[in-house]
Structure 1
């Protein structure tokens, strides 16, 4: 038996349905909608990266080594207790997290921080369908559930959501999305507390219902998941490839590049322009004197100033 590594393990493939694709080991897609928000790198703590809205009322935490990989909260003030909390475990595809972070970015852009408002703090609807309508539209069906609960299941039976209205506390976890068989490496879970706005849960549901495949390397697909998913090669004959979202490091590099570009093209002050003109005249005079002293100077073309060369 050959001990050489199998290169096909790192071959990129398109995986569908998305909710069974698992994590690719990074949070890039989930952070992409809020790439312009402040990033706080906390390498020494369990939360390795914290992305916040500019006023810090929305907090998106990445816990790289924990079972609950994502913890997202929102509060009336930066130092206030969270009004609601959403958690996503280590198996949940970051593309599903992006459904929530995209909605949060839009809500914040439309809010007034000085008024302390924002749709991301709205009260949830009393109608459960307002949270799960994208799933119903995609053909997910309501199953037989206990009194006080609502359960919706995907047509393939491999994903679903449970709403438990029997819990009465504001901080109780009342909405649970799941996908895949039970198991540490196979079951994706997303959990929302009772006061989570319905439209944010619906945004997550829409991502769950999406038919768009996602890109993974073959070794990222758990063995138990292989019979449950469809894999297609990434290539000219395959569906258009979805570009990778920028990583937090990419965002920082882009910011530095943009700052250098702005500095390079910034308007010159009057003092700068006078200094450039003086340098141009000095360079031109020196070139003329050098030409006059050199043998055969009369046959040489006239010197051109550095300012004119720069203008060309």
Structure 2
């Protein structure tokens, strides 16, 4: 554990695998793909920041004091019942959340340009493997489940996986869970999707987990219980303009968002779609604030307290 006066405490490092990097204390990467959407700051209640699609059918909530830090949902109409929900806990890297928000931004742009309905409301595939296909393609293996009706997929290092629960097909049943890290409040990342979540949106999230490119963190942001499970490479300062240097945090974030755009757009997408979405994601778009003027999306801090973790995970 790093002492408060350790000179390396705030040293920036590249952490891999990314799914064990935890949060960097902000939600920037998760919000970046939808920075051009309306956002509202809420003074009261558990949800501190709410970002919605322009028609309010897609909602991305930041619950800064809760164990489930992100709650993302979609509905057929702004005032209709939620079709599906995805939650990400406070340990989940925001770069993983960006896999989902990027796919949602892409789906919404397509709906607005073509049929007005939205692929983000598509029915899930009847094949469970479609939701976790990126993990299987990356060589993750089938595990041995504890109960009938449960399918487990495990990463080669044994430190991440997916659980597909086929026992309950109720509309709000939690059927797919992506996880990383040892069990524990500060060590296990979880992303949970309800039964009617479109399979391609789960796959877009899983693809970020599967590729797990290194991400920037400060040394003190890596839980001491995780340090032996990750590789931390110092981001060296630039000493010579002719010597190759490590990427800056901003460059890493931009690269992660751009890669997420391409991951989410895999499948029946055109080259024009990819160019448009990549351009949108790279832009430092501003969104209306409460007074209606334009303001950049600020960093959102992690909670100082948290409720008890979800039981049974």
TM-score (norm. length: structure 2): 0.76
Residue equivalent to 1:306: none
- Tell me how far 1:44 sits from its aligned partner: 2.1
1:145-195 CA distances to partner (integer Å, 9 max, x unpaired)?
232221100000000000000012110111111100011100100100000
Q: For residues 76 and 114 of structure 2, what CA distance do their matches in structure 1 show?
A: 11
Tell whether the 8 Å contact from 1:76 to 1:116 is kept in structure 2 after alignment.
Answer: no
Pair 1:80-2:80 in alignment? yes
Change (3 A) 1:25 1:88: same
Give the gaps of 5 or more residues in structure 1. 259-312
Q: Tell me the C-alpha RMSD between the 2 structures.
A: 2.5
The DSSP-based 3-state class of the residue aligned with 2:56 is: coil
1:229-277 CA distances to partner (integer Å, 9 max, x unpaired)?
000011256643452469xx9946997589xxxxxxxxxxxxxxxxxxx
Q: Which moved more, 1:189-198 or 1:135-144?
A: 135-144
Q: Which has the larger radius of gyration?
A: 1
Residue equivalent to 1:66: 66
Residue equivalent to 2:150: 149
Greater RCO structure (CA 8 Å; 6+ sep): 2
1:214-243 CA distances to partner (integer Å, 9 max, x unpaired)?
000000000000000000011256643452
Residue equivalent to 2:311: none
TM-score (norm. length: structure 1): 0.76
Tell whether the 8 Å contact from 2:35 to 2:285 is kept in structure 1 after alignment.
Answer: no
Query: Within 5 Å, which residues of 2 pair with 1:21-170?
Result: 21-112=21-112, 117-145=117-145, 146-170=147-171
Q: For residues 164 and 185 of structure 1, what CA distance do their matches in structure 2 show?
A: 24
Tell whether the 8 Å contact from 1:100 to 1:204 is kept in structure 2 after alignment.
Answer: yes
Q: For residues 256 and 153 of structure 1, what CA distance do their matches in structure 2 show?
A: 44
Give the gaps of 5 or more residues in structure 2. 239-243, 255-280, 297-313
The DSSP-based 3-state class of the residue aligned with 1:147 is: coil
Tell whether the 8 Å contact from 2:62 to 2:70 is kept in structure 1 after alignment.
Answer: yes
